[in-house]
């Protein structure tokens, strides 16, 4: 596993956001009886859906070589799983439907994550190749992970929660706000991987062109 230790502007901005979020509780922002939190949750759902659609449109997995094709289809499904989890598998928007329906949705989406790894040798090989060769953006990865852990800490009132939650009344808001840099960080890392794949593909095409001329 390799790491890219370059500190990027996006990592700096997300880091500053993480530091600033706890102080929003000190501004006594109106919560509007949970409406503000629902707005943020709806925005997160749209962002996760955008992540799946953008991945499919930008990298065009069906046009990729074997291995990469399976990997990027699998990556798009991950966005859908995150979308499902953030909306309680759809229950948040359709609470009148039976719970069994949402349980079935969760089972199907999670199966679409697990089964391809078990059944597709090409996918396993591509994942292993990326783990060995893809340089992970260290700072962005660390900040994204911190945002997720802090959000989980606030949500479950863990030992360090008071460091980030200055006013219990704003617990739901702080939790949702910390999920924003987490989702943004995931998207930026995903975009970096896709851009690198495209650049490598273009380089291989240019390298093979003289041979085609001959």
The DSSP letter of residue 2 is E
pLDDT of amino acid 128: 95
- SS3 label, residue 6: coil
As a whole number of angstroms, the distance between CA 214 and CA 212 comes to 5
Q: For residue 212, is pLDDT > 70?
A: no
Nearest to 170 by CA among 14, 20, 29: 29
Please give the backbone phi and psi of residue 29, each rounded to the nearest 5 degrees, phi first.
-65, 140
pLDDT single digits (tens) 61-104? 999 999 999 999 999 999 999 999 999 999 999 999 999 999 99
Could you count the other beta carbons within 10 Å of the beta carbon of residue 10?
18
pLDDT single digits (tens) 122-166? 999 999 999 999 999 999 999 999 999 999 999 988 888 999 998
> What is the sign of the dihedral through the CA atoms of 5, 8, 11 and 12?
positive
Q: For residue 187, is pLDDT > 50?
A: yes
As a whole number of angstroms, the distance between CA 14 and CA 12 comes to 6
Tell me the two tokens of residue 145. 């992970």
pLDDT of amino acid 164: 93
pTM of the model: 0.90
Angle between helices 68-86 and 171-213 (to 10 degrees): 170
Name the residue ranges covered by the structural domains of the chain.
Answer: 2-200
| E strands present in 10-65 | none
Measured at the alpha carbon of residue 158, what is the angle toward residues 153 and 164, in degrees to the nearest 5? 55
């Amino acid at each position: 596993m390799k790491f890219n230790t370059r500190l990027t502007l996006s990592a700096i901005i997300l880091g500053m956001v993480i530091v600033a979020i706890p102080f929003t509780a000190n501004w006594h922002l109106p919560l509007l009886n949970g409406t503000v939190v629902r707005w943020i949750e709806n925005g997160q759902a749209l962002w996760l859906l955008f992540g799946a659609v953008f991945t499919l449109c930008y990298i065009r997995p069906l046009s990729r070589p074997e291995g990469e094709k399976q990997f990027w289809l699998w990556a798009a499904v991950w966005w859908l799983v995150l979308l499902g989890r953030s909306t309680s598998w759809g229950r948040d928007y359709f609470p009148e439907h039976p719970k069994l329906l949402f349980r079935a949705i969760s089972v199907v989406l999670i199966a679409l994550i697990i089964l391809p790894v078990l059944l597709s040798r090409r996918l396993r090989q591509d994942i292993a190749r990326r783990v060995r060769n893809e340089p992970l953006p260290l700072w962005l990865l660390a900040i994204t992970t911190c945002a997720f852990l802090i959000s989980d800490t606030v949500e479950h009132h863990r030992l360090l929660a008071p460091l980030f939650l200055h006013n219990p009344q704003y617990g739901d808001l702080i939790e949702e706000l910390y999920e924003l840099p987490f989702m943004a960080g995931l998207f930026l890392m995903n975009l970096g991987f896709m851009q690198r794949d495209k650049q490598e593909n273009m380089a291989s095409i240019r390298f093979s062109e003289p041979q085609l001329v001959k």
